[in-house]
Structure 1
């Protein structure tokens, strides 16, 4: 795995961070809400920067592949966080479709040539 794939993975985790921050901001008010919104802004900035970095350099990941994988990592992380932090339901169909998402990400990495 190249450094760009690692950068992209970390960027996807920060995407999860900004989604979780928005969810937590919805549950709070006042100073706590402001801190969650600040967390959102920081996570968005870091996530976008890491996506940008993964698409450049010697082992650049093609933009279509990078964006799809970044979004999928963020989506997967957000679903898991929703289950753990927001008591969202765990159903067979949710697990099935998350599994297909993971398989798609692995497939894109295998065929990207990066």
Structure 2
């Protein structure tokens, strides 16, 4: 269910069925387009995308990607500090690849 600050219906969780992957990615992209202010940077987009990947297949894959992102603590700390200071920096290298998740 989407929060009151979101437009449209948040896509249902993706369990990893390849036959449903194209539809899932399209729904995520449309949801992100409708909520471009809330999901304005790649980090927010990736967090949504990975959060919707659940179950034994997609959930495991998402957990591995989350570990990759969080393993680069130094880059993430610099990124978070810049965000806190009101600056929009380039996201850390791992986070910079939203399109690789949603292709």
Report TM bin, short chain: 0.3 to 0.5
Larger Rg: 1
Question: In proportion to residue count, which structure has more helix?
Answer: 1
Q: Which has the higher contact order (CA 8 A, sep 6+)?
A: 1
What TM-score does the superposition give when structure 2 sets the normalisation length? 0.39
Q: TM-score, normalised by structure 1?
A: 0.36
